[in-house]
Amino acid sequence: MLLVNTIRDNFENTLAGLQKRNFPNAQDVLIQVLDLDNKRKETQSQRDSLQSESNNYSKEIGILMREGKKEEAEKIKTFTSEIKDKVKSLEDIFSQTEEELKQLLYTIPNIPHFSVPKGKSAEDNEIVLTHGEIPALPDNKQPHWELIKKYDIIDFELGTKIAGAGFPVYKGKGARLQRALINFFLDEALKAGYLEIQPPILVNEDSGYGTGQLPDKEGQMYEATVDKLFLIPTAEVPITNIYRDVILNESDFPIKNVGYTPCFRREAGSWGAHVRGLNRLHQFDKVEIVHLSHPEHSYQALEEMSLYVQGLLQKLELPYRVLRLCGGDMGFTSALTYDMEVFSAAQERWLEVSSVSNFESFQANRLKLRFKSEDKKTTLAHTLNGSALALPRIVASILENNQTETGIKMPKVLVPYLGFDTIGF
């Protein structure tokens, strides 16, 4: 959620930012925000001064009562009841205006960083760099959904029987590969100075609002309706909400958390031809990194996270590229997002395996996540997060890129975790 003051003080920049995102009627919406805010302030002033008057009368009554001057007190009471009605109606207008303003602000996305390219769709994303060799595979190469059947390591039909489409069952070396990757990712994060967190994987409504899944995107989440809980779509939700309504000390920065969780996404209506196999699931595993940063250092933190994720991909010997998302493709809450895509050599496609974003103060504003600076001012912190990494597509590209006639070779770095070096017969 944007700050009204930011909109007021940087009207032109804000407008330009929204236009970069192709946000419709940007100018009208921003003007409406300022109008509502003005109305809110005016109403508050009126209400407060009347309330003040009423409080003074009440004090007088208190004094008179103590002195036993009941009649005088009764006289004053007649004034206050009149004021009370006025205060009540101003109060109604105030809270209604405030609510309207909040709802409107909820619909406005974050302002893109100046380096974000213009554009409407994924086609307009900027390729920042490409790394690694694309492996030359034999002519009879197979996509991962064939390989997992061939070696009997992941079973979609079984998952359908137990839960439904998009809930695969990992078996034998498939299950062990999952476990190895999770441990590898967590150990790497620990080495890089992250604090490991195991959060709940169901969250309440407040948490959903805190990170912006609610309102509007409740359809993306599975919901335990009886208890009003939501299955998390990413560990970002519970981990970032740890810091909801928190005032940190400046010396607490940087805060670096990592957590492994299963993730659940309904992905309603988003199934198509190229989402076969592991490319898109209802349940998958992910290791997520979350940074809380001083506003002055958040872009350094973003670069650090990007390099960290790239390091993981290099260790896994996967060819990848880094994209800077354009205004039209960026998430609602993000100011700057890098996507990391791995080349999956049998599908001959780039697959997104990580998305690293700086939200600046957009999330922190909703979360009321602040810090006290040296000069005792309370200021919104900056939040960032990224996948490090999402498992299914990593598994898909490891399987596809490393396939040979005799089996699938595992990345060297995983062998100590796996206890085997090849998935074969």
Q: Which residues in this chain contact RNA in the complex, by CB under 7 A?
A: 37, 41, 44-45, 47-49, 51-52, 54-59, 61-62, 65-66, 77, 80-81, 84, 247, 370, 372, 376, 378
Q: In what order do the strands lie in the sheet with 126-131?
A: 126-131, 320-324, 336-344, 349-360, 382-390, 283-293, 255-264, 195-197
Can the peptide bond before residue 158 be classed as cis, meaning omega within 30 degrees of 0?
A: no
**70 or 217: CB nearest RNA:** 70
**62 or 172: CB nearest RNA:** 62
392 phi, psi to nearest 5 deg: -60, -45
Question: What is the nearest approach in angstroms of RNA to the Cβ of residue 19?
Answer: 26
386 phi, psi to nearest 5 deg: -165, 155
| CB-based burial label for 9 (10 Å; 0-12, 13-18, 19+) | exposed
Question: What is the nearest approach in angstroms of RNA to the Cβ of residue 42?
Answer: 8
Question: What is the nearest approach in angstroms of RNA to the Cβ of residue 2?
Answer: 13
**57 or 167: CB nearest RNA:** 57
| CB-based burial label for 292 (10 Å; 0-12, 13-18, 19+) | buried
Helix-, strand-, coil-residue percentages of the chain, each rounded to 5: 45, 20, 30
Query: Which of 323, 360, 325, 326 has the alpha carbon at shortest distance from 20?
Result: 326
CB 324, CB 424: distance < 8 Å: no
**366 or 393: CB nearest RNA:** 366
Question: Pairing state of beta strands 370-372 and 247-249?
Answer: parallel
Kindly give the residue spans of alpha helices, DSSP state H, lying in 163-297. Answer: 173-191, 205-211, 236-241
Question: What is the nearest approach in angstroms of RNA to the Cβ of residue 252?
Answer: 14
**41 or 118: CB nearest RNA:** 41
Question: What is the nearest approach in angstroms of RNA to the Cβ of residue 356?
Answer: 29
**125 or 365: CB nearest RNA:** 365
Which residue bears the tokens 């994987």? 201
Question: What is the nearest approach in angstroms of RNA to the Cβ of residue 188?
Answer: 30
Question: What is the nearest approach in angstroms of RNA to the Cβ of residue 268?
Answer: 29
**45 or 130: CB nearest RNA:** 45
CA separation for the pair 40, 36 (Å, rounded): 6
Question: What is the nearest approach in angstroms of RNA to the Cβ of residue 10?
Answer: 16
Question: Pairing state of beta strands 283-293 and 255-264?
Answer: antiparallel
Q: Which two tokens stand for residue 214?
A: 């609610």
**83 or 169: CB nearest RNA:** 83
